[in-house]
Amino acid sequence: MTIDPITLEVLVQALITVVREMRATVFRTAKSVAIFEAKDFSCGLFAPDGQVLAQSEDIGSHVVPMPWSVRSAMDKFGAGLRRGDVILMNDPYAGGTHLNDVTIIYPVFQGDRLIFFPAVREHWPDVGGMVPGSMSGKATEIYQEGVRIPPIKIMEGGRLNQAAMDLLLANMRVPDERIGDFQAGIAACRMAETRIRDLCARYGIDVLQEAVRLQLDRSEARMRSCIAELRDGTYYFEDYLETFPGGVLEPLLLPLALTIDGDRMIADFTGAAPQVPVPVNSTLAVSAAGVFIAMKSVFDPAAPMNQGSLRPIEVVAPLGTIVNVQPPAPAGSHGEIRKRVLAVMVGALSQVAPDKVAGDLCRTSFHNLLGGYDNRSKREWVHYEWSGGGNGAFAADDGPSAMATIDWGDLTTVQPSEVIEARMPLLVESSRLAIDSGGAGRTRGGLSMQRVLRVRASDARYSLLADGAVLPAFGVLGGRSGVPVASWMQRRDGSVVAFDTPGKVAGELIGEGESVVLRSAGGGGYGDPLQRPPASVAADVSEGFVSLEAANALYGVVLDGQGAPDTARTTARRVDLLAARCRLRVVSCTDGFRAGAVSRRRICRLNPTDADRQGLPEGAIVELDSTRGAPLRAWVVRDAAVVEGTVPLDARGQAILACGVDGTLEVRALFYGTPPAIERGGTLLAHLKS
């Protein structure tokens, strides 16, 4: 069958338009604030074999894993599906993301022939579990994260399975919102069915499916062409996720070996930490989505996304690890795994395509949940807040501030105060960009958002599921790290209370009149901050993005009484800062890691004299940076056997940093601290100095 190019493009865009209409239907009819205001949902069209055929401005972290969900549904029901059947599921182990993301899969038939699956994935703000909002930072098994729904026929022959729906809603908070969101998803799928039938009537199903095949093939060809332009080889990077057994940081290693072989790519996560009874695990579908989203965003962002773009990329994720979790370990941290996969992809790609990458993005999905019972309205309430963070800086410009990241599509990341206050017993006291939160660089990382929510109900329970509270977003090519994510509580008397484990909170009681302060993460910088134009630094100070102290200490810019750069003093200051950097000569070692309770962590052995010059105690976290890509994080071990002026580095570390024996690395402290001190001190820099 031959299809002319114009007809092909008309049909491709027609299918994308179907998805856009699905989105409009959900957006206008859903009942949850998270869906109708924040747009935390996605739609797509899928083939019977699970391939994603069309999406629009959807959330990549929803759509890209959905083929696993469709395949799971087909494995279970297969030839038993009939017209009027509708499948409901949220099981992470069957291709879902986390339990809050509930998926409706709607088979469309032409006669007896199954031709398409319109599907909707909606974030339901509560699906039961141990805390309001379902996402607990301290869950130890998936049963604590809510109701787990394997693929079930929620409708059969057009009739709702009322018993199943009653059972589900009886285990979810605010059930009237849940049923409203469900009906919105069904309406979107029915609309898609109507539009698909119109296309079939006009063009014929065979022409439509041939257009789909051609579109998938040309998307595959584009991605293969992009990969083929890269230098063949295997590129490594590593990063960590955070756990706090006994209140002490236990980092979990996530290594990546990214192999480019002609026009194909393999992302291999062999060596990832084993899964743990803590919400830092996720599924193969989510981990693979992080790889695919990074490649699509970096190399082929303009063309429509479909399964063809993913065909040249293979993902290896060993079973039973944090990137391929198995029951019954918790799987609620899909956003944290996905963003860490994005981070290691950025780290590896910065070695082969530095001009195309940005600094690390804001590190975490920052799931904040507040809920309880409101005596005034006599009903339960759940608020789901995810403050937008800073994106990484890139070669051409600074990173966007308080904005959705590449895996979030057009999701709204600053929820309107008016909507929150009208629907929830909350007062939004302030929302602002956090000063000094973007990673310093030739171009600056995007700033984080800080929001204060005051509880107006008799009490509320607060939970947080996040990562990057200790290890923030890294910069690239000499750029510095952004500020880590944080939250803390303010009492009625103004006193400040930090939570026991940063980034992981479960059902903390917040009394009436007390507030929770939420600060998202800043993005990583790009390039050496001493190369940032002084006029840009002065503009940042004028806008309140950068403090005077940070302008001097990080960028080496001295401003006069009118806020303009003092050229002579700035030049001298930058010379002094450059000379003060700790650069050590690389010597070889056989093993750069130390085993922890669960996983391994990279160590940096330093002669005590070198450590003392930088004020680095035993166990301090540092960045090792060659400025040729992204830095490595490591934990200091003071060792008198190390020759002064040198830093041992194993072969893998040398490969990552492109710095062999006798090369030099900058070793710099990676500071982090308690949120109350930052708040009272006014700037992050003031706290770090203290």
pLDDT at 475: 96
- The residue out of 544, 564, 580 marking a domain boundary is 580
* Percent of the chain residues past pLDDT 70, beyond the cut: 97
* Pair 539, 509 in one domain: no
For the cut 50, the answer to whether the pLDDT of residue 672 exceeds it is no
* Per-residue CA distances from 574 to 436, 461, 577 (Å): 19, 48, 5
* Pair 77, 201 in one domain: yes
From the CA atom positions of the chain, what is the Rg in Å? 25
In a domain, 338, yes or no: no
In a domain, 303, yes or no: no
* Pair 474, 551 in one domain: no
* Pair 525, 624 in one domain: no
pLDDT at 682: 34
* Percent of the chain residues past pLDDT 90, beyond the cut: 84
pLDDT at 689: 36
* Domain total of the chain: 4
**Three-state DSSP string of 513-561:** CCEEEEECCCCCCECCHHHCCHHHHHHHHHHCCCCHHHHHHCCCCCECC
Q: What is the pLDDT of residues 516-568, one digit of tens each?
A: 999 999 999 999 999 999 999 999 999 999 999 999 999 999 999 999 999 99
pLDDT at 333: 87
* Pair 394, 517 in one domain: yes
Q: What is the pLDDT of residues 396-441, one digit of tens each?
A: 999 999 988 878 777 788 889 999 999 999 999 999 999 999 999 9
d(CA 381, CA 635) in angstroms, rounded, equals 43
* Pair 622, 523 in one domain: no
In a domain, 543, yes or no: yes
- The residue out of 515, 546, 580 marking a domain boundary is 580
Q: Rounded to the nearest 5°, which phi and psi values hold at 2?
A: -110, 130
In a domain, 246, yes or no: no
* Pair 516, 588 in one domain: no
* Pair 188, 42 in one domain: yes
Where residue 630 sits, what CATH number does that domain have? 2.40.40.20
Strand 264-268 to strand 313-316: parallel, antiparallel, or no bridges (unpaired)?
Answer: parallel
CB atoms within 10 A of CB 162: 9
pLDDT at 119: 96
pLDDT band for position 671 (cuts 50, 70, 90): low
In a domain, 465, yes or no: yes
* Pair 510, 456 in one domain: yes
pLDDT band for position 386 (cuts 50, 70, 90): confident
Q: Which amino acid is at 519?
A: R
**Residues forming beta bridges with residue 427, ordered by sequence position:** 454
In a domain, 257, yes or no: no
* Pair 539, 527 in one domain: no
Q: What is the pLDDT of residues 492-516, one digit of tens each?
A: 998 899 998 889 999 999 999 999 9
Length of the chain, in residues: 690
Burial of 5 (0-12, 13-18, 19+ CB in 10 A): exposed
Q: Please, what is the Cα angle at 338 between 334 and 343, to 5 degrees? A: 150
DSSP 8-state assignment for residue 397: B
Which structural domain range is residue 664 located in? 583-669
In a domain, 456, yes or no: yes
* Pair 507, 368 in one domain: yes
Q: What is the pLDDT of residues 139-182, one digit of tens each?
A: 999 999 999 999 999 999 999 999 999 999 999 999 999 999 99
Q: In the predicted model, what is the mean pLDDT of residues 581-609?
A: 95
* Per-residue CA distances from 95 to 148, 337, 396 (Å): 12, 15, 37
Q: What is the pLDDT of residues 87-128, one digit of tens each?
A: 999 999 998 899 999 999 999 999 889 999 999 999 999 999
d(CA 457, CA 373) in angstroms, rounded, equals 8
In a domain, 229, yes or no: no
Q: What is the pLDDT of residues 307-337, one digit of tens each?
A: 999 999 999 999 999 999 999 999 988 889 9
Q: Could you tell me which residue, 193 or 95, shows the higher pLDDT? A: 193
Map residue 595 onto helix, strand or coil: strand
For the cut 80, the answer to whether the pLDDT of residue 453 exceeds it is yes
d(CA 94, CA 70) in angstroms, rounded, equals 9
Q: Which amino acid is at 687?
A: H
- The residue out of 547, 580, 613 marking a domain boundary is 580
pLDDT at 679: 38
404 and 410 Cβ atoms separated by less than 8 Å: yes
Map residue 70 onto helix, strand or coil: helix
pLDDT at 409: 75
For the cut 90, the answer to whether the pLDDT of residue 63 exceeds it is no
For the cut 80, the answer to whether the pLDDT of residue 688 exceeds it is no
Buried b (16+ CB within 10 A) or exposed e, 329-355: bbbbbbbbbbbbbbbbbbbbbbbbbbe
Nearest partner of 106 among 191, 42, 164, judged by Cα? 191
* Pair 571, 596 in one domain: no
Show the tokens assigned to 78. 């297969």
Q: Could you tell me which residue, 406 or 350, shows the higher pLDDT? A: 350
Buried b (16+ CB within 10 A) or exposed e, 551-567: bbbbbbbbbeeeeebee
